[in-house]
């Protein structure tokens, strides 16, 4: 069993707070020393109370799914002796009401574009199989009920 930690910190500035007009910008800090500016999404809380230049939890959720899928895909490709030169995913998450009528991240679409180099390159079927396997192995995908769709772009 492994454990993972994150420190989330927010401090009130000169705002009254109880009028609900306070800034939502805060900081995520991780054990490796990295700190990330975070905020509520401007889609949920209007600017200036949200900071559009910071990462919001919804974006982080989509990035987490995309990153986990990518790391598994790279591992699978390397084990199969395919040399990946680049992997770019412009993932998109959709917020909508779930079956219980609550707002939730109901769908995430991964759209990875993978470039291979060298003499050994996967067929389209092998490429799709590696993506299916990456999805099945992804820890984050296995932890959520969100529908996750992968539309990999195959370029021979």
Confidence of residue 155 (pLDDT cuts 50, 70, 90): confident
35 and 101 in a common domain: no
Is 156 inside any structural domain?
A: no
CATH number of the domain at 82, please: 3.30.300.20
Query: Which residue is it, tokens 């680049």?
Result: 86
d(CA 52, CA 55): 8
107 and 79 in a common domain: yes
SS (H, E, C) 8-67: EECCCCCCCCCCCCCCCCEEEECCCCCEEEECCCCCCCCCCCCCCCCECHHHHHHHHHHH
Residue range of the domain that includes 141: 57-150
Average pLDDT, the chain: 96
DSSP states of 122-154: --HHHHHHHHHHHHHH-TTGGG--SEEEE-PBP
76 and 94 in a common domain: yes
pLDDT at residue 40, as a whole number: 97
Confidence of residue 156 (pLDDT cuts 50, 70, 90): low
pLDDT tens-digit readout, 21-67: 999 999 999 999 999 999 999 999 999 999 999 999 999 999 999 99
Q: Compute φ and ψ for 103, nearest 5 degrees.
A: -65, 135
């Amino acid at each position: 069993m492994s454990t993972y930690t994150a420190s989330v910190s927010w401090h009130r500035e000169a705002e009254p707070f109880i009028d609900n007009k306070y800034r939502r910008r805060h900081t995520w800090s991780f054990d490796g020393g990295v700190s990330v500016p975070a905020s509520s999404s401007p889609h949920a809380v209007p600017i200036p109370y949200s900071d559009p230049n910071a990462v919001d939890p919804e974006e982080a959720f989509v990035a987490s799914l995309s990153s986990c899928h990518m790391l598994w895909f790279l591992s699978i490709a390397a084990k199969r002796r395919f040399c990946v030169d680049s992997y770019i995913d412009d993932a998109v998450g959709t917020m909508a009401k779930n079956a219980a009528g609550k707002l939730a991240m109901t769908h995430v679409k991964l759209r990875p574009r993978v470039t291979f180099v060298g003499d050994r390159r996967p067929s389209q079927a092998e490429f799709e199989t590696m993506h299916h396997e990456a999805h099945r192995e992804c820890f984050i995908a296995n932890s959520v009920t969100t529908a996750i769709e992968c539309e990999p772009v195959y370029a021979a």
